[in-house]
A and B are shown apart, each in its own frame.
Chain A
Amino acid sequence: MSHSLSLTDSSDGLLAAGTGTALAGQDAERVRRFSEFWQQSQRSVRAYLASFVPDGSLLDDCVQEVALVAWRKGPLDDGEQAFLHHALACARHIGMAARRKFHGDRLKLLSPDVAQGLADAVAAVEPAPEPTDRVEALRHCIGKLSDDQQALIRLRYGDDSASELSKEALRAGKNLLTLYKRLERLRAVLRDCVTRQLSPPA
């Protein structure tokens, strides 16, 4: 799913030569800085929001909404920590709003106090110095799984996961609960694999 925010700026009249180039430079720097801060923050933002709304597609929507608000209003001149702090504050509002909208419908959510406690625990975790290393290690570990193991992981973490997993259970003639238990075993294997990958050699 892709979301977009359009900002239209209409300017009439004459424009001095060279001004357009200067504006493009400032915008490019802003985009670069936002991209860098967002790449560093999105892991924490996603985990923080998952405390409030664990569901895949709703969680995706909330993450993207935080990104767009952070683009419009996030501080880009005070460093990564300030940006992350702002993003998590936005995430709290957006997560709580999403809960109010969907609670009692089809989602099983944690009670507000429990969700907030969990979210605070996420916020207290020190951001990983090189988050891309973790993701690359994880991709390497996923690559070591068998084809059907990889397929199961991709079904779970792709779009529309609940529906896709139900279809897979039907196709394979397996109980859905069995599939989820298998998924959990695979996740534990991947966690161990990543820990070994990132641990310094003895």
Chain B
Amino acid sequence: MENNKEQLLKEDAWIGCHDCDLLNEIEALPEDCEAHCSRCKALLFRSRSNSISDSLALSLAGLILFIPANIYPIMSLQVLGQSKSGTLLAGAVKLYTGGLEMVGVLILLTSIVIPLFKLLMLLYVLLPLQLGVRLLGMVPTFRIFQKLNAWGMLEVYMLGILVAIIKLGDLATVIAGTGLYAFVALLLVTVCLSAALDERVVWQRLEAMNA
């Protein structure tokens, strides 16, 4: 009886629901499955196989793709003999110099800075974990990564590109640039990365490392 009670009170046997605060008992999950709160059906956690190694590979791929996606122009516009092309950065800069500093900064952050930092931060946390090394500040870095997660808006930018192409298609000839292909690849990598990353495993490893 006493042993049972002790087992029940052990912290790691339970997980609290983030949305409704119900304590759910943890069962071991088979790989690549999801666990939902019994009361409000919120997603509690997913178990993903090889989360850390997969996420690491994807982060590196993302970082490599980041460079051409930003250096090469996304698309060019041709009208009446005149031609104008733009990179991801160009839009933000033009808004900034055009007097709308805040919008320019916001676009810069959500489409370039934050996605880049997310990849870098993830690399900083995952690579040492994979190698079994301990670096300074891994825990705060991962915390900041989690908070920034919602603010990287590459998919929204992608849809924006499509809408812009359609809107401009009438006026002029639109030509896709090299940057666009790199950008699409980067987007796919980001999406796969959010599917592959299992935050629970990362936190458990971080905890084990610091113990």
Please determine whether chains A and B interact with each other in the same assembly. no
User: Interface on A for B, CB 8 Å cutoff?
Assistant: none
